[in-house]
Amino acid sequence: MPTLLWILLSTLIISALSLVGIFTLSLKEKQLNKTIMLLVSLSAGGLIGGAFLHLMPEAIEKVKESNENILTVFIFLLLGLCLFFLIEKILHWRHCHDGKCEIHTFAYMNLVGDCIHNFIDGLIIAASFVVSIPLGITTSLAIILHEIPQEIGDFGVLIHGGFSKTKALLLNFITAITAIIGGVLGYFLSEYIGYSLTFLLPFAAGGFVYIAASDLIPEIRKEVLLKNYLLNFGVFLLGILLIYGMRLIGE
């Protein structure tokens, strides 16, 4: 099978994972509301874990391979964080009036972060398949494993942000399609991908840290019941551990 076809198949499977939230369509609103904060907590943990245990280690490896200054990684981490800060303010001005928002800005921020993350996943998959088919398959499996908990959490964030279940499912799938775009682009620009990932990975990590720390964790902190707060915190830690576990399996 041609390399490009392998890339398309892998990125299509990863995009389809965004539809994991379809299982909630049969849930009643009361049942869904009970699970939303758990999904938000899972997403926050997944974003923090993804930034520090997945994207940053990968970026540092790329820097070592290209003999760049390791400080470059942290500069782009900060750039990503600062840009997401700016984007959120712009979205707030555009969609919120008199302090009222039908859709919370953190839901839009999550979509922006997802687009960048999935696009980078597509680039990584393409770069791996160009080297060899077995490496591409291994890399794709590793990405699939860490995407499952992430997509579940992302769906919860969109629901909590004000989107309907159907719209959240659709938007989650649309953002996931950027993996296919990244894969195709990565295939045709394969000789440049390795170097560009040195900057894209920490940039995405900065966005992840901003979304988790500025938007999602404050939502978790609003819980007033100690029992529920501790449960949310436990799920937050679970999100981090899942990313770490998936990374170990991927290696």
* Tens of pLDDT, residue by residue, the chain (251 residues): 788 999 999 999 988 888 877 776 666 666 666 778 888 888 889 889 888 988 898 889 888 887 888 999 999 999 989 988 888 777 766 555 555 555 577 788 888 888 888 888 888 888 888 877 887 887 787 777 667 767 777 888 888 788 888 888 899 899 989 999 999 998 888 777 777 778 888 888 898 898 889 888 988 888 888 898 999 999 999 989 988 887 777 66
Q: What's the confidence (pLDDT) of residue 29?
A: 66
> Would 150 be classed as within a structural domain?
yes
CB-CB contact of 209 with 47 (8 Å): yes
pTM for the predicted model, two decimal places: 0.75
> Would 13 be classed as within a structural domain?
no
CB-CB contact of 49 with 240 (8 Å): yes
- Where is 197: in which H helix or E strand? helix 190-210
Q: What's the confidence (pLDDT) of residue 78?
A: 96
Q: What's the confidence (pLDDT) of residue 249?
A: 72
CA quadruple 220, 38, 83, 54: dihedral sign: positive
> Would 121 be classed as within a structural domain?
yes
Amino acid letter for position 148: I
Range of the domain at 201: 36-250
Q: How many domains does the chain have?
A: 1
φ and ψ at residue 97, rounded to 5 degrees: -130, 130
> Would 40 be classed as within a structural domain?
yes
CB-CB contact of 95 with 109 (8 Å): no
Rounded distance between C-alpha atoms, residue 171 and residue 174, angstroms = 5
| Token code pair at residue 82 | 């600062």
> Would 24 be classed as within a structural domain?
no
